[in-house]
Structure 1
């Protein structure tokens, strides 16, 4: 019996690039459509995140727990699309994770299951809310994409090219300070570029170009902290990737960890206004 050949670095990079192009194209197309297609796109992403989280952390009984949490996430999307009241959102956000936690075996596993729902819910809710925002809309969404993608790409290639001191060896031994700084600089430039293009076409983000540069830097730092946080979770669970769904990248959590952190920042600003106005 012969073993399959080990992929070369160039092959791995090619696979990674092709997968990234496909994912970026899918995200941009869904963003262009908006509405139901866009909300369902992010529901699928949130469901994948929840499935990976609960599988990695060993929730038992796995399928019943995932079914309850999945119904809860789908319910949040339905409530969002039908513009339901804030009270219904609160009820769904409490009842479904409570039921899933109740049927989970083991106190430690209950904590992981309870935390999986809000983590996935941020991915499910924030991008559609941003897309439909009357003043931010698709420009705000493109800013989020640009900052996260620029951070990921620049950090990866700057770190490989320059090397140097490690950023956080106990959690992620390959990440470097040079990659971190490269990601921050690229994010600031990309965020300002999106804001400038928006102004050129009569669309404005609220803070002006200097303010967007600062916010882009904050978002880039948050994105890289989110990446480290997910790496810490994988180390805790003793897995290399959250799943093997995306060739060259691992799982959906592996691709959305930084975006999740930026969504969290946006959520702290947007969600209170969305549900109270």
Structure 2
């Protein structure tokens, strides 16, 4: 007597295997981030300096893995430079933000140009976050955070659920067009909420633009990791890898917002 066995259904567990760690780590970071943004002032600046220093450390470690001590020194120097620029609070100090990039390329390392460019982007992002919080208040940073978080969550669930064509498979093989577009839609909804709360209608088109810039920041970091031959920038955050893995989208979004601010008034009030 023979019995036929129905093969077990393919488990969807691997698709969501990282969800628990992502949620727990995300909630912890969100709690710290919201508290820092709300508190503002020195506390927010300290968080920005810490994140900036850790990102430069991770970047230096990926581009010169044979010199871990030097990477730590680069991270500390980046934090110290940002503290100095924020302390003096003068536009004449802004070129000093390029110091980690300059120092970093004087030593042999993989992809010197990439290190210099991304280190400068990280420094500008750290400075920009503090400047935006100081100049435009809580709402500006909360808006950026909401765009990055909502577009990331919408992209994660849409990409894992719908799948479909890859957005840029050579650099970021997990990203799909469905997830990318879902991120834009989620960001547009954030903009609409901002309008409902009294914001300008420009938020509706500017929010997806920042989401797209954030996605490009994510892809840029994926490219750097791929060139370095690593999966994560470090292992500091369970479920997320390193600090760059979590804050890469902020680099793109903040730099885009700073660029937009040079050509038009931002549709946000101070506070």
TM-score by length of 2: 0.84
Q: Which residue of 1 aligns with 2:214?
A: 223
Determine if contact 1:123/1:260 at 8 Å carries over to the other structure.
yes
Q: Which residue of 2 aligns with 1:143?
A: 143
Q: Which residue of 1 aligns with 2:268?
A: none
Change (3 A) 1:95 1:50: closer
1:137-183 deviation digits (Å, cap 9, x = unpaired): 11111110111111100000011111111211112222111111111
Q: Which residue of 2 aligns with 1:88?
A: 93
Q: Which residue of 1 aligns with 2:131?
A: 129
Determine if contact 1:187/1:216 at 8 Å carries over to the other structure.
yes
Establish whether residue 247 from structure 1 lines up as the match of residue 251 from structure 2: no
Deviates more, 1:43-52 or 1:263-272: 263-272
Deviates more, 1:15-24 or 1:261-270: 261-270
Establish whether residue 67 from structure 1 lines up as the match of residue 73 from structure 2: yes
Structure 2 Cα separation of the partners of residues 160 and 221 of structure 1: 19
> Offset of 1:225 from its aligned partner?
1.5
Q: Which residue of 1 aligns with 2:85?
A: 79
Structure 1 unaligned runs (5+)? 1-6
Spell out the pairing of 1:13-162 with structure 2 (5 A cutoff).
Answer: 13-58=19-64, 61-64=67-70, 66-68=72-74, 70-83=76-89, 85-90=90-95, 92-102=96-106, 104-105=107-108, 108-133=110-135, 136-162=136-162
Structure 2 Cα separation of the partners of residues 94 and 118 of structure 1: 6
Change (3 A) 1:9 1:125: same
Structure 1 Cα separation of the partners of residues 88 and 139 of structure 2: 23
Change (3 A) 1:18 1:132: same
CA RMSD of aligned residues (A): 2.4
Change (3 A) 1:109 1:12: closer
SS of equivalent residue, structure 2 residue 239: coil
Structure 2 unaligned runs (5+)? 1-12, 265-271
TM-score by length of 1: 0.82
Determine if contact 2:54/2:75 at 8 Å carries over to the other structure.
no
